[in-house]
Each structure stands twice: as structure tokens, then as C-alpha cells.
Structure 1
Amino acid sequence: MSKTDFTSPRAAARAFTPRLSELVEHPLYSSVWSDPDLSPRDRSLITIASLIALGHTDELPAHLLRGMQNGLSKTELAAAITHLAFYAGFPAAISASACANATFSQDAA
């Protein structure tokens, strides 16, 4: 098994299936994320909420950090996770909260 430490599942996908990554990332970044109808901050919040609601926490750390870069605060992220508990379920919110805590603990180290 490789000892490469990938920071997100997307990094591992790039290494194993570069063509898939190219097909996903080209329209995603050149069209979806650059569309001026939503701010990067709002796009990050929507993406984070979607990942939490769907239980896709593998990519959540990268998006939490990107959300902070795009203007979200830790307080807003915590409030979003709390709000999602009532719409996506408590297990999803608890998992997201643990993921956020681990992500921001590592980020502070």
C-alpha cells in the first residue's frame, strides 16, 4: 500500500484516475465555480451543506478549509452544521461536527 498522504480523496483520484479528475474539474472550476450569480462564499456554504446532507465527509475537510478562505467563519460553519441536524439528521451533523473539529484542530497545529 502506498504511503503517500493525500490531503483529500480528490488527490487520490487524480493519482489513480487523472482523466476522471480532468473531466470533473474542468467544467466544475471553469463554469460552475466561476459563475457570477453566486459568490464563492455562498457556493462553499451550499457545497458544505450538500456534502453533510449526503454523508460525504471524505471531501468535507478540504471544503471546510476552502469555505474559510471564501469568507465563512467557524461560527457560521458551526451554525450551519447545527441547522442541518434538523434537515439532514443528527448523525450527519454529529459526523460533520467531528470532521470540522478534527480539520480545524489540525489547521491550528
Structure 2
Amino acid sequence: MSSHQPSGAARMFGDFAPQLVHFTDHVLFGDVWERPGLTARDRSLITVASLVTSGSTDQLRHHLGRAKDNGTSEAELIEAITHLAFYTGWPRAMSATAVAKYLFHR
């Protein structure tokens, strides 16, 4: 993370839960996301799938944008959500699609 620009986690929770921000910025997005075993694109697809299946639409907002930044197209993300509908359930897929539509067409 840049020392000049606070992370999203720091802006949201820095004063309230500084240790959670530390783990988010340095362990999750530092150590875990930077491991060499998967590409950032693959990690994004896995993360989006996990968030869709768990119904975590608040975090999905951030990770859909990150997935696009990591080289995943909007069409691929919509296809992943559609595919997941049969494994995670229709309501979660519909909620994820609503988030994607809002983000991709605003």
C-alpha cells in the first residue's frame, strides 16, 4: 500500500479496527495476493466466485472492479455469476448480478 494514499480498509476502519486493516492490507493483499502460485486474474475469479457463493455483496463491489483491473472482462464475470447460479442458488446469483449491473453500467 502506498504511504501517501490510505487503503479502502484504512479509510473505512482505520480508527475503529486498526489491526484488521493491518491484516487486510499487509497479509491478505500483501502476502496472500502476491504469492506466485496463481495469477492476479485467477485470484480475482476465485475471489469473485467465493463472494458470490457466500452472498457477500458488499465485498463483491470492490472485487468485481479489481477483477476487471486484473484482466477479467465484464462478460467473463457475468458468465461466472451465471454459472454459479446453479451451484450457489438463484437468489445469490441474482444479487451478485444486480451489483455487477450497477457497477458496470453506471
- TM-score relative to the length of structure 1: 0.83
1:53 to 2:48 alignment? no
Distance 1:61 1:34, change over 3 A: same
Matched, 1:70 2:57: no
Amino acid aligned to 1:61: R
* Pairing 1:7-86 to 2, within 5 Å after superposition: 10=9, 11-86=11-86
**Residue aligning to 1:88:** 88
Rounded to whole Å, the distance in 2 between the matches of 1:93 and 1:14 is 31
Q: Where in structure 1 are there 5+ consecutive unaligned residues? A: 1-7
Corresponding residue of 1:4: none
Identical pairs, percent: 48
How far, CA to CA, are the matches of 2:13 and 2:54 in structure 1? 20
Tell me which stretches of 4 or more aligned residues in structure 1 moved more than 6 Å.
none
Q: Deviations over 1:75-102 (max 9, x none)?
A: 1001000000000110010000000001
Q: TM-score, normalised by structure 2?
A: 0.85
Alpha-carbon deviation of 1:23? 2.3
Report the 3-state secondary structure (helix = DSSP H, G, I; strand = E; otherwise coil) of the residue aligned with 2:57.
coil
Alignment-mate amino acid for residue 58 of structure 2: D
- The residue type paired with residue 81 of structure 1 is I
Distance 1:16 1:102 in 2: 29
* C-alpha separation in 1, matches of 2:74 and 2:15: 31
Moved more, 24-33 or 74-83: 24-33
